[in-house]
Structure 1
Amino acid sequence: MTSRLPRFRSHDPKIGDRVVVRRRINDADPHWTDVIGHVIGLNPLVVRPQSVGGMPSTSDGIEIPDHQLEVVKILSPRTIRNSDIRAVEVATAKAFPGLANEWAGGWLMRAGDGITERSNSASPLGPTTGFDPVPMDEIEEFYAAHRLPVRLHIPERIGKPAHRVVSAEPDAWTLGPEILVMTRELEGLAPVALPEGLQFRVDEQPDDEWLGMYHFRGRALPPEALELLRTRIDGQMGFGRLLTSLGQTVAITRATITSAESRTFLGYSAVEVAPAYRRRGLGTALGARIQHWGADMGAGEAYLQVISRNEAGVGLYSKLGFTEHHRHRYAERTR
């Protein structure tokens, strides 16, 4: 019997969400059917199919019993093309280079600190990687030379060939958490008022105080991993912070300006707020101010990444105007 790996999944759709639903119909051939449309009912799920052009249709909804549900994925309100996914992933790759970077066909192979996935994985960034075979021989040789495990970056749609590689040997790979990539346009940003007594600043490089606050998924990073954060990138970096009147740093973020497909992106990550200053809106204020900084630097769009199960993080970024763009995950060969 063929083992099936978990697929991208969004939980708890709401009335009005645009979704794709994969359902299993045992008596049908093929067994799988997909429905793309807008949610008009819950318990059971009812989806009104999408009409041509992406607008809601006027047809009756399709009721989908729980036992047929296999995948429910919340889609962006707008249509996302494969080229849009690729553009965001290319901009991200430029913001998180490895210490060693080589190409195998349309795959960018990066080797860095060996810890963070973004700088230690092979990414399908070429225009035909959604259709071409994965160059596994070259990828395995590269990571063996750098004494690192083989790690594949698998975005939705453009990463289908990589997903097939992993699915063919499910016991040989470990899948990381599903990561939600969220985006927004930077035109027409609203003015931002900082909480009383705080100042905003962006530096070209982080100091020890900034680095001391940063954690990756709740854990402090070793010095070599922290050093990679400020390594030269294909673009511009900014290390943002909020400070008290006494000069104490109470919130930080790393921002980057990179380009792809003739588009300029602000990417920001590493959002941290000092424990004594949490639940005061500092994360929201810092995120809003770094968007203005990105717009001033020429970026027209912004993106960020958050683990899909991090409801607090998704909620914060939604308040800042971000919506789901696509999802990706990493697969590491374990044998």
Structure 2
Amino acid sequence: MSRIFRSDEVQPGDRVVLRRIAPEMEDKFSDIIGHIVSVTPTETVIRPQDIGGMPSFKNGIVVPAADIKIVKKLSPRTIRNSDIRKLEVAYSKAFPGIEHRQVGQWLLRAGDGITERSNSAAPLGPSALFDPVPVAEIHEFYSRHGLPPLVLIPERIGRVVEKLVERLGPEIIVMARKLGDEVSVEKHAEFRIDTQPDDDWLRLYHFRGKPLPRRALELLRTQIDGEMGFGRLLIDGRTVAITRGTITDGYLGYSAVEVAPEYRRQGLGTQLGNHMLNWGLAHEAHTAYLQVIASNTAGINLYTKLGFLEHHRHRYGLLKNPETS
């Protein structure tokens, strides 16, 4: 099991795998996959899951603390490795960087040097989990661009590189939801979406709370292999909320969400999100996704209200230099 994801404490309602000493077989272990009912210093109660990772109505199993080997949090629903890969491939097409190169099962990208998504190597090939990591090629590529050798580590499909990195970035939750019928929208402000952002849109955007250099902002508007739209809400003609939408491989990517400080906590984030879901549906997207840092509780709550659920997690890490490690 990976040690770099979901290291936070287990809470009631979490879906987990619990490894315990097998009843009446002290030298063997057995696993229970299900949802936590309660946790105390002396015991954990877990309810076995239903098909697909759904919560069930089965009786809870009481496991004494002394019998527990490990408890590991899982994604809320059963997700296949191929589904993680498809979503990460769509995401890579939404932020291709300036130069990208395929090396075996890895996609190497270089862009503005600011954001990790356009300046990292990603294990997106179907056999990346089994093939050797092209360490030398990754170091050479980023050295040539004057950038650190950063790698994207999606959980499970990036496991091969976990022990080869240092200085891990924060856990990032990739949330997703299916698109079906059009979403009803409470209209507190005027919605508009353009193929390119103007200065008002660019002025409002920040990356993790900080303004981006002009070059990095320009990369946001670079054409991609798919559809791209820059959404906004206006009140009395003023841009008060923004987001960037991309559609690649049938996935609506929803990013760069920002609401002007004086207009926050008025439901504008929800309104803008619902407008973007409808925009994606109109452009034949079947699934929407977004990303949020695991510690951003407010953001997670907002996106949950929009129907998003955790799909998987990923992190970025600095690839070690094999000559010095």
Q: Output the CA distance in 2 between the equivalents of 1:268 and 1:52.
A: 29
Q: CA shift at 1:72, angstroms?
A: 3.6
Q: Output the CA distance in 1 between the equivalents of 2:171 and 2:19.
A: 18
Shift of the 37–253 alpha-carbon distance from structure 1 to 2, 3 Å rule, reads: same
Residue of structure 1 equivalent to 2:6:
9
Determine if contact 2:244/2:256 at 8 Å carries over to the other structure: yes
Q: CA shift at 1:69, angstroms?
A: 7.4
The answer to whether residue 168 in structure 2 is matched with residue 175 in structure 1 is: yes
- Structure 1 segment 162-241 matched on structure 2, within 5 A: 162-166=161-165, 173-195=166-188, 198-241=189-232
1:15-59: CA deviation from partner (whole Å, max 9, x where unpaired):
44422346899xx879x9754212222324322344776564846
Shift of the 80–288 alpha-carbon distance from structure 1 to 2, 3 Å rule, reads: same
Shift of the 134–91 alpha-carbon distance from structure 1 to 2, 3 Å rule, reads: same
Letter in 1 for 2:248: T
Residue of structure 1 equivalent to 2:313:
327
Determine if contact 2:138/2:149 at 8 Å carries over to the other structure: yes
Determine if contact 2:154/2:315 at 8 Å carries over to the other structure: yes
Q: Output the CA distance in 2 between the equivalents of 1:71 and 1:109.
A: 35
Aligned partner (choices 292, 295, 301) of residue 281 of structure 2? 295
Aligned partner (choices 15, 39, 42) of residue 42 of structure 1? 39
Residue of structure 1 equivalent to 2:63:
63
Residue of structure 2 equivalent to 1:170:
none
Q: CA shift at 1:67, angstroms?
A: 11
5+ residue gaps, structure 2: none
Shift of the 12–145 alpha-carbon distance from structure 1 to 2, 3 Å rule, reads: same
Letter in 1 for 2:201: W
Aligned partner (choices 256, 262, 282) of residue 270 of structure 1? 256
Determine if contact 1:16/1:38 at 8 Å carries over to the other structure: yes
1:166-209: CA deviation from partner (whole Å, max 9, x where unpaired):
3xxxxxx20000000000011024311211xx200000000111
Query: With structure 1 as the length reference, what TM-score do the two structures score?
Result: 0.86
Q: Output the CA distance in 2 between the equivalents of 1:151 and 1:33.
A: 37
Shift of the 64–311 alpha-carbon distance from structure 1 to 2, 3 Å rule, reads: farther
Secondary structure class of the residue paired with 1:313? helix
Query: With structure 2 as the length reference, what TM-score do the two structures score?
Result: 0.88
Letter in 1 for 2:102: W
Secondary structure class of the residue paired with 1:8? coil
RMSD of equivalent CA atoms = 2.6
Residue of structure 2 equivalent to 1:169:
none
Letter in 2 for 1:102: R
5+ residue gaps, structure 1: 167-172
1:101-143: CA deviation from partner (whole Å, max 9, x where unpaired):
0011010000001110000000011111122111111111111
Shift of the 199–7 alpha-carbon distance from structure 1 to 2, 3 Å rule, reads: same
Q: CA shift at 1:66, angstroms?
A: 9.4
Q: Output the CA distance in 1 between the equivalents of 2:168 and 2:287.
A: 29
Secondary structure class of the residue paired with 2:35? strand
Residue of structure 2 equivalent to 1:122:
121
Shift of the 70–193 alpha-carbon distance from structure 1 to 2, 3 Å rule, reads: same
State the identity as a percent. Answer: 56
Letter in 2 for 1:208: D
Q: Output the CA distance in 2 between the equivalents of 1:213 and 1:50.
A: 44
Query: How many pairs does the alignment contain?
Result: 315
